[in-house]
Amino acid sequence: MDGTKPVMESTAEENLEEREESKGCFECCIKCLGGVPYASLVATILCFSGVALFCGCGHVALTGTLTMLENHFSRITSDHATLTAVVQIMQYTIYGIASFFAVYGIVLLAEGFYTTSAVKKELQSEFKTTVCGRCITATFVFLTYILGLAFLGIFGFSAIPVFLFYNMWTTCAAMKSPMANITDPDSICVDVRQYGVIPWTATPGKACGSILGDICSSSEFYLSFHLYIVACAGAGATLIALIHYLMILSANWAYLRSACSQHEYQDIKTKDDVEEGTSKEGLNSSYS
């Protein structure tokens, strides 16, 4: 009996130590999770997803569109030389957009981590934010606003090829529909020259009847059409992410500014209290 008692006591002590360790780990995890800027994390994931869809699908869709135009609408290279140069410029621009937002998203996420911890420590009076930190947040607000306006234009621009491909798709669907009762399918044509994609001198410039049906059934048309839709959706997702970022940054800047004003007021109040206490001590000493 005497030999089992120390064993039981050591086992109880070990269980107590394990509980304390697990409690410490749990509190540490809760503290770490409390410092995560979830709003910035969601906006970053949405931004990365939108940019990836827009850049990846847009790049492949542009290549497929150029191949389709070369095979069916503009067989002379000189007729679509300008279009080829524009497509290449747009593809290089896509590379730049992807690289920029990969860095910018990480920077904004890091700024979210910093601001979240700074606001909490500021409210707990552990340290005070600097004017430089608030200016950096304000700079991000301005830059994100400009990027939001830019991506609003990109979103509208990315809807143009979706509209053009949709018109061609509806024309092919109407031509194949038995309810249309078309006697002369060759009279139904799609002329891409009227959209300004290729010059009016390009040959053949348009597709009619069975040729138009073959184009709509080709893999280039089907893939490019759906990729343009996904790219447009990606641009919209990126725009929503930038609006989300803008709201987050504006709120963070307001929190930092409010906390700074609160600390300034507390400092002034503390200074006044000290001066008032000193003056009362001086009066008391003079009367005594």
pLDDT value at residue 129? 59
Region at 196 (left for phi over 0; alpha for psi -120 to 50; beta for the rest): left
- Predicted structure pTM score: 0.76
Domain ranges of the chain: 38-158+219-259
pLDDT value at residue 1? 47
Question: Each residue's pLDDT tens digit in the chain (288 positions)?
Answer: 455 545 455 565 555 555 555 556 666 666 666 667 788 889 999 999 999 999 999 999 999 989 888 888 888 888 888 888 989 999 999 999 999 999 999 998 888 877 776 555 555 555 555 667 678 888 889 999 999 999 999 999 999 999 999 988 888 888 777 666 666 777 788 888 888 888 888 878 888 888 888 888 888 888 999 999 999 999 999 999 999 999 988 887 777 766 666 555 555 666 655 656 565 555 555 555
Helices (H) and strands (E) in the chain, counts: 6, 2
Residues 156 and 231: their CA atoms lie apart, in Å, by: 11
Residues 219 and 217: their CA atoms lie apart, in Å, by: 7
pLDDT value at residue 115? 74
pLDDT value at residue 29? 65
